[in-house]
Copies of this chain bind each other. A is one copy, B any other.
Amino acid sequence: MKLFDKKNIDFGMILTQHGLSKTSFRKILIELFYTKKYSLSVDEIITNLSFPIDKVSVYRALNAFEKNGLIHKVPDMANLIRYALCQSECSFEKHLHNHAHLLCSNCNETYCINDFKIPVVNECKGFIIDNLKIILEGSCVDCQQSYK
């Protein structure tokens, strides 16, 4: 569970720091990412909002957030896209993701893991490697419970 005190976080400031304009929807969207523990799909975002929002606006906001280094994409089991908060200092210029992801093959929930030891590879068969995508598929704790 991600513990934080909303009073201590200025979501408008976070948007500004990432070069994003502060609209009421965007402030609520970034707050939603801080409130929810893990990744979100477009449909989950809409479900979690207390007001109607056009799906297109969600897509455009997510694309802007991603371009400016606030969130990053994670694929689910069906190769559909989910989004998760960037954990390190990402920005428009530098978008680094040196962490792996847990993906529950049952509920599609995604968990960013920072303490997974990522193998260091720079070269393989002449191929120059500049990014590793590591997805660990399995069962999340909740889904293990419900199988008992």
Tell me how far the C-beta of A76 lies from the nearest C-beta in chain B, rounded to whole angstroms. 10
Whether the Cβ atoms of B119 and A130 lie closer than 8 Å is: no
Indicate whether A131 reaches chain B with its CB closer than 8 angstroms: yes
A91-148 interface with B by 8 A CB criterion: 102, 104-105, 111, 113, 116-117, 119, 121, 124-141, 144
Determine the distance from Cα of A139 to Cα of B127 in the docked complex, in whole angstroms. Answer: 6
Closest to A122 in B: B138
Determine the distance from Cα of A137 to Cα of B144 in the docked complex, in whole angstroms. Answer: 32
Closest to A103 in B: B133
Indicate whether A24 reaches chain B with its CB closer than 8 angstroms: no
Indicate whether A79 reaches chain B with its CB closer than 8 angstroms: yes
Given A116-B121, A124-B102, A127-B102, also A135-B137 (CB < 8 A): no
Whether the Cβ atoms of B135 and A133 lie closer than 8 Å is: yes
Indicate whether A13 reaches chain B with its CB closer than 8 angstroms: no
Given A79-B75, A79-B79, also A102-B129 (CB < 8 A): yes
Tell me how far the C-beta of A136 lies from the nearest C-beta in chain B, rounded to whole angstroms. 5
Contact of A137 among B117, B126, B132 (CB under 8 A): B132
**A residues apposed to B, CB below 8 Å:** 75, 79, 81, 102, 104-105, 111, 113, 116-117, 119, 121, 124-141, 144
Additional 11 contacts, C-beta under 8 A, given A126-B144, A127-B136, A133-B134: A79-B81, A102-B127, A113-B125, A124-B136, A129-B138, A130-B137, A131-B136, A132-B134, A132-B136, A134-B134, A134-B135
